[in-house]
Chains A and B, each alone.
Chain A
Amino acid sequence: MKKSSTSVQELPAAAAYRPTPPPAWRPRTDPAPLLPDPEPYRVLGTDAAAGAEPALLLRLYTELVRGRRYNTQATALTKQGRLAVYPSSTGQEACEVAAALVLRAEDWLFPSYRDTLAAVARGLDPVQALTLLRGDWHTGYDPYEHRVAPLSTPLATQLPHAVGLAHAARLKGDDVVALALVGDGGTSEGDFHEALNFAAVWRAPVVFLVQNNGFAISVPLAKQSAAPSLAHKAVGYGMPGRLVDGNDAVAVHTVLGEAMARARRGEGPTLVEAVTYRVDSHTNADDATRYRDAEEVETWRAHDPIRLLEHELTRRGLLDEAGIAEAAEAAERMAARLRDRMNAEPALDPADLFAHVYAERTPQLREQEALLRAELDASAGEGAGEAR
C-alpha cells in the first residue's frame, strides 16, 4: 500500500473514504435461527410430557434400567479383574439410550470410548462390545452388522468419519444418517472443528451429540471452553445448535429425532449438546474426589435420569411397583448372563496378531508368525498352557 501524503489532521470523514462494504461482508445466513435456546430443552416435569407416547416412555425406561445395571455390572467386573478398565456412563444413560433408539436400522452410530452402552442398546452383543475394554481384541464386533463404528479411543477422531460416511451414503443416494457421539472435552480437539465444518459445508446428513458431563477426566467445562454453551459452537459453522437436558430421556430422544429428520430431509447437520453429569469417576481407575466435591455429585444424583422417567410413568399410571420390579428383574437377568459369559476365559489365538494387519500377510509377517509359533511350541513342550 502506498503511503498517503495526507497528514493525520486532514483525514477525510469516514464516509468519504469508507464506502458501504461489498455484499459478501454481510452474514450469509441469519445466525438467529441457528442459536440454541438458552434453557436446555426438557419434557419430563413439563406440560410437554403429556404428549409423549406411552410405548416410547416404557421402552426408554426399560433400556435405562438395563443400562444402569450394565454399568454397575461392568464396573464390578473390573474389580474382579475380568475387565481391564471401564468408563462408566452412569448418570448419562438417557443420552446413551436415546442415541441408540433414535436410529433406524440403516443409520450409523459413531461412538466414543465411553459409549459402550449406546452400542449395546443398539443391539450389539454385550460381551463383544466389551472386548476393547477387556483387552482380548480392539474391536470385538463387525461394525457393519449393527452399523456401529469401532469405539474410538482417540478423542473426536471419529467425528470426521461420521461426516465422510454420511456424505458417501448421500452420494450413493442412500437414506442414511450418521449420529456421532463426543464428550465435552473432545469438542476442544481440532478434529471436532474440522468435522463440523465439513459437515456444514457439505450439508452432510450427520448429527453430532455432545454429552457434556461436566468433566474431561479432571478438567471442568469452565477450563475447557469459554463458549456460552457448547451448542453455541454450531452457529459459527452454519448449522443449528440445540441444548437439551441430558438426563431427560424423552427430551434427548425428541431433540435427536428432530435433528435426524432434518438431516434426512437434506437440510444438513445439527449439533446437539446434552447437559448431563458423570456420576462415577472417569474410569474405575480414576479417583474423582481429587477434583470435585461430593455435594455436586449428590445434586446431580437427585436429577437422576431413571427417577425422572419413573416419576412421569407412575404419575400417568403407566408403571406400578410390579412394573418397576419387572424391569429390575429383566436387568438382573441381563447382568447375570453378562457375568457368566465374562467369567469364561476368552479364546485367544496369538496368530491373530498377524492375521489382520493387511489383507494378505507380508513375507515379514509370515516370518514373525513362524517365530512366534516356534516359541509357543517350545514353551508348550515345557508345559506352559495358553491362558489369558
Chain B
Amino acid sequence: MTAVGTVPVAAEAAKPATMAQALRRAMRDAMAEDPSVHVLGEDVGTLGGVFRITDGLAAEFGDERCTDTPLAEAGILGAAVGMAMYGLRPVVEMQFDAFAYPSFEQLISHVAKMRNRTRGAMPLPITVRVPYGGGIGGVEHHSDSSEAYYMATPGLHVVTPATVDDAYGLLRAAIASDDPVIFLEPKRLYWSKAQWSQDAPTEVEPIGRAVVRRPGRSATLITYGPSVPVCLEAAEAAQEEGWDLEVVDLRSLVPFDDETVAASVRRTGRAVVVHESAGFGGPGGEIAARVTERCFHHLEAPVLRVAGFDIPYPPPMLERHHLPGVDRVLDAVARLQWETES
C-alpha cells in the first residue's frame, strides 16, 4: 500500500466544523508549512472559489501562492505539470466535476504517466481537487460522479472523504503525496457537520486505508464519499428489520484497501456496494469482483450493487429518483438471500 508518511497536524488548529472549513484549513496548513505548495484554479483567489474552499488563501499567502488562472482546465493542469517538474506542489481546483473534462488529455497522457515514462525520475506531486456528485440541485454538468474515469487510469491516486476529519487528513496526505492525487470532494457534504468526531486528529494517516464506520455482523455495506451518510442511515434503519449492518468507508479508491474490505466481508458473509455514479462500468463492478475473488468461500450471497442509474445525470427535479437512497439500499440488503426468508 502506498504510504505518504505521517504528516503532523498543526497543534493550534481550531477545529473546523464543516467539511468545507476542514478542506480550507488543510490547504492553509500545508501552505504555511511548505512554501512549495501552490493553489491554482478558476476563481480561487479573490472570490475564494465558488464554494469558498480557498477563501482567504490569497489574502494570507499572496496571489502567487493562490492564483486565479485563465479559464482553461487543460491549461491549468498542464501548467501544474510544469510547476511540479520544477519542484512545486500544485494543488489544482477544478470548479465542478464536469468541467474537469477538458483537462483529461493532460491528466491521462501526462499526469498519470510521467513517473512511469521517466523511470521514476520525474514524479508529479499534484493534487487535483474536484467537487463531485449530485444532490445539490445543480443544473446539468454540475453533478457528475467521474470517479470511474479516474480509477480506470493507472498512475493516479483517487481519494474521497466522507467526514470532516477525513477532509482535513486526506487532503493533507494528498498534498504531501509524491504522486498525483485526484481528490474528489462530495459537494453535498461540504456544509454537513453531522460526521464530525469529537477528537481532533493528531496525525494524518497515509492514503489507502478504508475504515469501518459502523461495526455490524449481518452484512457489509461498502461505500465511499457522498454515499457514506446514506449507508449509515440505512444501517440504523436496518436494525428494526433485524439486520446488523457493517459500513465500510473506502476513503481511497486507488489504492484500494483489499484487506479491510475482505476482512469485513469474511466476517459478515454478505456485501452490498453503494455509490451514486452509474453502475454499469462503474466502481462497484471492480469492487464486487475483488470481494468475490477474495471472499468467495465466505459469501452467503452474491455481492450486490446499488448505484445511480445508467443515465446521464438527470435534471435537478428528478435527481432524487436517480440517487441511491436509504430505501434502495435496504431493498438490496433484503435481496441478500437470508435463510430466514422464503
Report A's interface with B, CB cutoff 8 A: 84-85, 131-138, 153-155, 185-186, 188-191, 216-219, 223-225, 286, 290-291, 346, 348, 350, 352-354, 357, 362, 364-365, 368, 372, 375-376, 388
Contacts and interface: CB of A to CB of B under 8 A. Distances in A.
Nearest to B313: A138
A84 B209 CA distance: 38
B13 interface: no
Contacts of B138: 84
B318 interface: yes
B60 to A, nearest CB: 16
A192 B141 CA distance: 19
Contact of B71 (A219, A368, A375): A219
A160 to B, nearest CB: 12
A135 B137 contact: yes
Given A225-B70, A353-B321, A354-B309, A188 B75 contact: yes
A189 B102 contact: yes
A105 B42 CA distance: 38
Given A372-B321, A388-B317, A190 B139 contact: no
Contacts of A225: 70
Contacts of B312: 357
Task: List 9 tightest A-B contacts by C-beta distance, closest first.
Answer: A218-B47, A135-B316, A188-B70, A185-B71, A153-B141, A188-B72, A188-B71, A138-B140, A291-B46
14 contacts: A84-B138, A85-B139, A133-B139, A135-B316, A153-B141, A189-B73, A217-B42, A219-B43, A291-B47, A348-B318, A354-B309, A357-B311, A365-B309, A372-B321
B50 interface: yes
Contacts of A189: 71-73, 102
B321 A84 contact: no
B102 A191 contact: yes
B317 A135 contact: yes
B298 interface: no
A84 B310 contact: no
Question: Range of interface residues on chain B?
Answer: 35 or more
B50 A217 contact: yes
Contacts of A350: 318, 321
Contacts of A376: 321
Given A216-B42, A352-B318, A368-B309, A132 B140 contact: yes
Interface in B88-106: 98-99, 101-102
A388 B137 CA distance: 12
Nearest to B312: A357
Nearest to A355: B311
A364 B282 CA distance: 14
B72 A190 contact: yes
B74 A224 contact: no
A375 B328 contact: yes
Contact of B139 (A135, A290, A357): A135
Contacts of A190: 72, 74-75, 102
Nearest to A357: B311
A224 B71 contact: yes
Contact of A223 (B68, B309, B314): B68
A365 B311 CA distance: 8
B251 interface: no
A117 to B, nearest CB: 17
A286 B51 CA distance: 10
Interface in B136-161: 137-142
Contacts of B137: 84, 135
Contact of A217 (B47, B101, B140, B314): B47
Nearest to B327: A375
A205 B294 CA distance: 60
Interface in B258-315: 280, 309-312, 314-315
Nearest to B47: A218
Nearest to A376: B321
Contact of A346 (B42, B50, B75, B317): B317
B311 A84 contact: no
Contacts of B309: 353-354, 365, 368, 372
Contacts of A85: 139
A55 B4 CA distance: 71
B50 A348 contact: no
Nearest to B101: A154
A199 B143 CA distance: 32
A153 B140 contact: yes
Contacts of B46: 218, 290-291
A13 B273 CA distance: 75
Nearest to B46: A291
B65 interface: no
A272 B218 CA distance: 66
B325 to A, nearest CB: 10
A174 B303 CA distance: 56
A185 B47 CA distance: 15
Given A84-B138, A132-B315, 13 more contacts: A84-B137, A137-B315, A154-B101, A188-B71, A190-B74, A217-B42, A218-B45, A223-B70, A291-B46, A291-B47, A350-B321, A357-B310, A368-B310
Contacts of B42: 216-217, 219
A191 B73 CA distance: 11
B322 interface: yes
